[in-house]
Structure 1
Amino acid sequence: MKTLLFALKGFETMEFSVFVDVLGWARNDYGYDVPVVTCGFQKEVTSTFNVPILVDKTIEEINSNDYDALAIPGGFEEFGFYEEAYDERFLNLIREFDKQQKIIATICVAALPLGKSGVLTGRKATTYHLRDAYRQKQLKEFNVDVRNEPIAVDKNIITSYCPETAAGVAFKLLEKLTSIEQMEVVKQAMGFK
C-alpha cells in the first residue's frame, strides 16, 4: 500500500513529517506494508521556513498506477506554496488519483488544490479555519460543501483544519491503508492514546 508524499514548494515541515513518522512506525515496528515515496517538482524542495529536503522522485517520474494513496501537506502562500499547488501538472495528478478512487490525504490548505482540480465539487471537505476562515471561503468558491470540523472524510478524500490535525490525518490514512485495529496499535505505541 504505497503512499506518494508530495512536497510542494513552501510546504510545512510538521505536516510533511507526520506522514513519514506515522507510516514509518507502522513499517519499522510492526512490519506493515506501507512504504512512502517522497516527491516534488524538483529534487530539492524548500519548506515554509526555508528548510530544504531532498525527495525521492520528481513529478515527471510519477505514474499514479504505482501508488495507493497521495498525501499532501499544506504550506504558506508567502513561501510560494500555491505556485506549485495550482500547477496544472499537480492538479492532473490529483484528478488521476481520485479517478482511480485512491486515497488522498491533505492537511490544512492542501485541500485548496483539490478544490481547484474539481475533485471536491459537491463533496464535503475542510481547510484552515482561523483568521476569519478566509481559506474555507476560498474552498467554498470551488463548489465544495465546506465543513467547519477538524477532519472531514468524503469517501477516498481526507481533509483537515490546520497543523494541529496533522497526526489525526496521518492516522486516518494509516487506517484506510491497513485497518482500524492496526492503526490503533501504532497510535498507542506512539503515545497518542
Structure 2
Amino acid sequence: MKVLLLCPKAFETMEFSVFIDVFGWARDDYQCDIRVETCGFRKVVTSTFGVPVTMDILIDEVCAKDYDALAIPGGFEEYGFYEEAYHEKTSALIQSFHSMRKPIATVCVAAFALAKSGVLKGRRATTYHLKGGYKQKELEQFGVDVVNEPVVKDGNLITSYCPQTAPFVAFALLEMLTSAEKMNLVKGAMGY
C-alpha cells in the first residue's frame, strides 16, 4: 500500500512528520506493507518555519489510482499555505481520491483544502478550534457541519482541530488501512 503525503507550501513540519513516523513504525515493526510518498508543487518545499523538505514526487506526476490514501498536514496562512492548499491542482487531486472512496486525512487547517475542493459540503468535520473558534466559523461557510471534537471521521474523510491531534489523525488513517488491532499495537509501541 502507498499513502500520498501532500505538502503544500508552508505546511507544518510536526503535522507532516507524524505520518512518516506512524507508518514507519507500522511497516518496520508490525509488518504493515505501507509506504509514504511525499508530494509537493516543487521538488523542495519550505515548511512554515523555514525548514526545506525534499519531496519524492511532484503533484503533476501523481495518479490517484496508484495510492491507497491521501494525507495533508496543515500550515500557516501568513507563510502562504493557502496558495497551494487552495490551488486547482490540489482540489482536483482531492476530488480524484474522494471519487474512488479512498481515505483522506487532514490535520488542522488542511480541512480547508477539502472544503475548497467541495468534498466536505454537508459532511461532519473540524478544524483549528482555538482563538474563539474563528477558523471553525470560516469552515462552516463552505457548508460543512462543523463538530468541535479533536478528530472527526465522516466516511472516508478524517479532519482534526489543532497540531496536537496530528498523531491521532495518523493512527486513524492507519486503522482505516489496516485494522484496529494493528493500529493499537503501533500506538502502544509509540507510547500513546
User: Structure 2 length normalisation: TM-score?
Assistant: 0.99
Corresponding residue number in structure 2 for 1:21: 21
The alignment status of 1:116 with 2:116, answered yes or no, reads yes
Corresponding residue number in structure 1 for 2:76: 76
Q: Which amino acid in structure 2 is aligned with residue 99 of structure 1?
A: S
Q: Which amino acid in structure 2 is aligned with residue 110 of structure 1?
A: A
Corresponding residue number in structure 2 for 1:11: 11
Shift of 1:137: 1.0
- Equivalent residues in 2 for 1:56-95, closer than 5 Å: 56-95=56-95
Deviations 1:77-111 (A, max 9, x none): 01110000000011110011111100000000000
Q: Which amino acid in structure 2 is aligned with residue 95 of structure 1?
A: Q
Q: Note the aligned Cα RMSD (angstroms).
A: 0.6
The alignment status of 1:48 with 2:48, answered yes or no, reads yes
Shift of 1:138: 1.2
Deviations 1:57-82 (A, max 9, x none): 00011000000100000000011100
Question: Percent sequence identity over matched residues?
Answer: 64
Structure 1 runs of 4+ aligned residues shifted over 4 Å read none
The alignment status of 1:155 with 2:155, answered yes or no, reads yes
Q: Give, in whole Å, the separation in 2 of the partners of 1:44 and 1:175.
A: 30
Shift of 1:47: 0.3
Q: Give, in whole Å, the separation in 2 of the partners of 1:26 and 1:82.
A: 31
Shift of 1:118: 0.5
Q: Give, in whole Å, the separation in 1 of the partners of 2:113 and 2:32.
A: 30
Shift of 1:131: 1.0
Q: Which amino acid in structure 2 is aligned with residue 141 of structure 1?
A: Q
Partner SS state of residue 102, structure 1: coil
Instruction: Give 5+ residue unaligned stretches, structure 1.
Output: none
| Higher alpha-carbon deviation: 69-78 or 24-33 | 24-33
Corresponding residue number in structure 1 for 2:2: 2
Q: Give, in whole Å, the separation in 1 of the partners of 2:82 and 2:134.
A: 15
Q: Give, in whole Å, the separation in 2 of the partners of 1:166 and 1:91.
A: 22
Shift of 1:29: 1.1
Q: Give, in whole Å, the separation in 2 of the partners of 1:137 and 1:69.
A: 28
User: Structure 1 length normalisation: TM-score?
Assistant: 0.98
Deviations 1:120-141 (A, max 9, x none): 1100000000112111111101
Partner SS state of residue 39, structure 2: strand
Q: Which amino acid in structure 2 is aligned with residue 3 of structure 1?
A: V
Q: Give, in whole Å, the separation in 2 of the partners of 1:121 and 1:78.
A: 26
Equivalenced residues, count? 192
Q: Which amino acid in structure 2 is aligned with residue 130 of structure 1?
A: L
Deviations 1:138-163 (A, max 9, x none): 11011000001111000000000001
Q: Give, in whole Å, the separation in 1 of the partners of 2:88 and 2:35.
A: 27
